[in-house]
Amino acid sequence: MKIAYDRVAATPRTVVPAALPSGESVTSFLTQVHEEFAADDDGELSTVAPALGRADPAHFGLAVLGVDGQLHEHGDSRVTFTIQSVVKPFTYALLAEELGVDLLRERVGVNATGLPFHSAQAVEVGIAGPTNPLVNAGAIATVSHIPGEGVEERWRWVRDGLSRFAGRDLGLDEETLDSEREVSHRNLALAHLMRSFGTVEGDPDDAVEIYTRTCALEVTAADLAVMGAVLADGGHHPVTGERVVSEEVARVTLALMLVAGMYESSGEWLIDVGMPAKSGIGGGIVTVSPGRCALGTYSPLLDGTGNSVRGALSAAMLSRSLGLDLLASEPYA
């Protein structure tokens, strides 16, 4: 049996906001963190696609956007790179807003797989749902539900939605897109496997094409901070003032990021950082402190699971410095 959480769905949710330190303090902390890790050359450039291996390993940028709309940044925060898997929670949020959380929960799943992000095993043996929207299989399944006729119309729908998160029109890195199309065989196999299970809607090849395009969108660390801050502010855009997604969709998206945002090291991340996050093999990480702020980081040197080394260390240090760890507490008296 499954626990019927819908029995408490009508109970109002209480949210207790907490403010960031002063803007000057946040900027000072970013400077300290950048100085601490700028010379750290641990990790390797991604070899998944040739274009990713040409990134400058010295690039390192940090940005924090509070829900008050104040942006703080340091280092290479305006250097462009491809968003890669960091796009997944935002694509999910757009589709959850369009189709409903419950439908995607049923068709795609929500639980961690405990397996690499491109694994087919989770699709074949998963007992708690087909997969989840933050690994490749689940992200492709999610994308397959985008409304519209044909690839181009559906691509415009999701690109426009992602641009609303960023507060600006996001461009496409054509070189990286072509590079990733050449190595998309596993994703195509995943899509066809899920189509056989009824998880992917429509043409699997079309779903992979749209998914690959979303991963090749160009962003900066500052963009990631802005996009994450929309989730931190309950779906409201702190800069443009637009309602991008509902409070409930923002909350569920953050829950998924806690569960599976950092691939198979998500549990370690939760212990060491204590916040929802999503990483990508392009070197970006978005980390969200609900009700307070979001952190965007960029450094292309990755650990063995595909997470940015400098980015992860920066998030851990800022979590401690700014009091952002959701699980940390002190005795009442």
Does the structure show a pLDDT above 50 at 129?
Answer: no
pLDDT digits (tens, 9 = 90+) for 55-113: 999 999 999 999 999 999 999 999 999 999 999 999 999 999 999 999 999 888 887 65
Please give the Cα distance from 174 to 118 (Å, whole number).
22
Q: Which residues pair with 294 in a beta bridge?
A: 65, 288
Is 211 annotated for ligand binding?
Answer: yes
Is 5 annotated for ligand binding?
Answer: no
Mean pLDDT value of segment 298-314: 95
Is 132 annotated for ligand binding?
Answer: no
Is 263 annotated for ligand binding?
Answer: yes
Residue type, 320: R
CA angle, 234 as apex, 173 and 295 as ends, to 5°?
A: 50
Mean pLDDT value of segment 259-286: 93
Does the structure show a pLDDT above 60 at 119?
Answer: no
| Helix intervals (H) in 38-129 | 88-99, 101-107, 121-125
Rg of the chain, C-alpha, whole Å: 19
Q: Between these two residues, 11 and 197, which has the higher pLDDT value? A: 197
pLDDT reported for residue 4: 52
Is 136 annotated for ligand binding?
Answer: yes
Tell me what percent of the chain is helix, strand and coil, each rounded to the nearest 5. Answer: 50, 10, 40
Mean pLDDT value of segment 39-58: 94
pLDDT reported for residue 24: 78
Q: Between these two residues, 229 and 17, which has the higher pLDDT value? A: 229
- Please list, residue by residue across 89-104, b when 16 or more beta carbons sit within 10 angstroms of its beta carbon and e when fewer do: bbbbbbbbbbeebeeb
Q: Could you give the percent of the chain with pLDDT greater than 90? A: 71
Mean pLDDT value of segment 194-214: 92
Name the pLDDT band for 117 (thresholds 50, 70, 90): very low
Q: Between these two residues, 119 and 135, which has the higher pLDDT value? A: 135
Q: How far apart are the first and last CA of the chain?
A: 41
pLDDT digits (tens, 9 = 90+) for 163-191: 999 999 999 999 999 999 999 998 999 89
Mean pLDDT value of segment 270-283: 95
Three-class SS state of 235: coil
pLDDT reported for residue 1: 39
Tell me the CATH number for domain 21-321: 3.40.710.10
Please give the Cα distance from 129 to 138 (Å, whole number).
10
Q: Where are the domains of the chain?
A: 21-321
Is 85 annotated for ligand binding?
Answer: yes
Q: Which residues pair with 59 in a beta bridge?
A: none
pLDDT reported for residue 6: 61
